[in-house]
C-alpha cells in the first residue's frame, strides 16, 4: 500500500472557482463527457490576452494526455474542461490566479497573465472507479457483496447519523491530512476484490480516495457515493444514530 501513502503525502484539497473560467466559444461534441477524474487526450492552442501564442500542440502534432482532478494541469483547465464531450471544442478565458499566478511561467508567460485556450477533446476515458447515486446506494445496501465504508470523522457522523450496516473508518484528520493507519484498517476489513463504496460528507473527498485506490493501487470494484451524505439527505434517507 506504499503507493497510496505517497499519493496522499502530496494530496491536498483546493476550492475550484469554476465560475471564474469563462467560456468564450464552444462547439459541442457527441462522445463521452469529461467528468472529475476522467482521462482525456486533447489538442490545444494557448494565447496571452494580446493574442500572442505561447504554446500549440497542433504544431507539435502531439496531443496532450492527463487526468482531470489530480492537479496535473492548471486549475483553469481542471474546471474549464468539465462538461465537454469527445469531438467538442471550447475556447476559454482563464484568470491568472487559476493559471500560473503572480509568478508566471518562464519567459513565455509573464506574471499575472490571464490566458486564453482553444481546446479540442480527442478522447475521454472514464475513471477506473464507479459512481453510485443515492438511490443506487440503497440498492447496494441490500446486496451483501458490497461494503459501505464511511470515511467521515466522528463529528460529521454524529451530526447526520450512520448509514445502517456501514463500516466506519476515518480517513482524514481535522486538518485534512490523510491518516496512514487508514490503510491498515482497510486491509483488516476488506478482502481483495471486494466491492467497496467510499462515503464522505459531500462526495468529493471520497472520490479522491476512490481514484487513489483505483489508479495507484489498481484496486477493482471501487465505488464512490457521488453526492455523499448531502445526496442522501435530499432523498430523506433514514440514518441511524451512531
Taking CA atoms, 218 is separated from 4, 6, 67, 210, in Å, by: 10, 15, 16, 11
Q: Is the pLDDT of residue 159 over 50?
A: yes
Q: Is the pLDDT of residue 5 over 50?
A: no
Give the cell for residue 173.
Answer: 484528520
Write down the H helix ranges in 20-74: 57-60
> What phi, psi does 140 have (nearest 5°)?
-65, -30
Cα gap 103→101, rounded to integer Å: 6
Cα gap 108→176, rounded to integer Å: 35
Annotate 126-184 with DSSP letters as a single string.
Answer: --SSEEE-HHHHHHHHT-TTEEEEE---HHHHHHH-B-TT-EE---B-TTS-B-THHHH
Mean pLDDT of 206-219: 93
pLDDT of residue 229: 98
Mean pLDDT of 176-199: 93
Q: Is the pLDDT of residue 54 over 60?
A: yes
pLDDT of residue 180: 86
pLDDT of residue 242: 75
**Going from the N-terminus, what domains does the chain have, and what CATH number goes with each?**
11-125 (3.10.50.40), 130-234 (3.40.250.10)
Query: 10 Å Cβ neighbour count for 81?
Result: 25
Q: What is the pLDDT of residues 89-113, one digit of tens each?
A: 999 999 999 999 999 999 999 999 9
Confidence of residue 4 (pLDDT cuts 50, 70, 90): low
Q: Is the pLDDT of residue 1 over 80?
A: no
Q: Is the pLDDT of residue 62 over 70?
A: yes
Q: Among candidates 60, 230, 75, which has minimal Cα distance to 160?
A: 230
- pTM recorded for the entire structure: 0.84
> What phi, psi does 54 have (nearest 5°)?
-115, -15
Rounded to the nearest angstrom, the gap between the alpha carbon of residue 71 and the centroid of all alpha carbons in its chain is 10
Q: What is the pLDDT of residues 23-36, one digit of tens each?
A: 999 999 999 999 99
Q: Among candidates 157, 234, 166, which has minimal Cα distance to 197?
A: 166
Q: What is the dihedral of CA 86, 92, 95, 98, to 10 degrees?
A: 0
Amino acid at each position: 500500500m506504499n503507493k497510496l501513502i505517497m499519493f496522499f503525502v502530496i494530496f491536498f484539497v483546493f476550492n475550484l472557482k469554476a465560475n471564474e473560467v469563462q467560456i468564450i466559444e464552444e462547439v459541442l461534441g457527441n462522445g463521452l463527457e469529461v467528468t472529475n477524474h476522467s482521462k482525456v487526450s486533447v489538442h490545444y492552442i494557448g494565447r496571452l490576452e494580446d493574442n500572442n501564442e505561447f504554446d500549440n500542440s497542433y504544431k507539435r502534432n502531439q496531443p496532450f494526455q492527463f487526468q482531470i482532478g489530480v492537479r496535473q494541469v492548471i486549475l483553469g483547465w481542471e474546471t474549464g474542461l468539465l462538461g465537454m464531450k469527445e469531438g467538442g471544442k471550447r475556447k476559454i478565458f482563464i484568470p491568472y490566479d487559476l493559471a500560473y499566478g503572480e509568478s508566471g511561467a518562464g519567459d513565455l508567460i509573464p506574471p499575472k497573465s490571464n490566458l486564453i485556450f482553444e481546446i479540442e477533446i480527442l478522447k475521454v476515458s472514464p475513471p477506473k472507479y464507479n459512481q453510485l447515486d443515492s438511490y443506487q446506494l440503497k440498492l447496494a445496501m441490500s446486496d451483501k457483496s458490497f461494503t459501505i465504508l464511511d470515511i467521515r470523522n466522528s463529528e460529521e457522523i454524529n451530526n447526520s447519523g450512520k448509514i445502517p450496516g456501514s463500516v466506519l473508518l476515518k480517513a482524514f484528520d481535522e486538518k485534512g491530512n490523510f491518516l496512514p493507519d487508514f490503510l491498515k484498517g482497510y486491509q483488516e476489513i476488506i478482502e481483495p476484490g471486494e466491492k467497496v463504496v467510499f462515503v464522505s460528507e459531500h462526495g468529493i473527498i471520497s472520490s479522491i480516495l476512490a481514484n487513489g485506490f483505483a489508479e495507484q493501487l489498481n484496486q477493482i470494484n471501487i465505488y464512490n457515493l457521488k453526492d455523499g451524505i448531502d445526496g442522501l439527505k435530499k432523498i430523506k434517507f433514514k440514518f441511524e444514530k451512531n
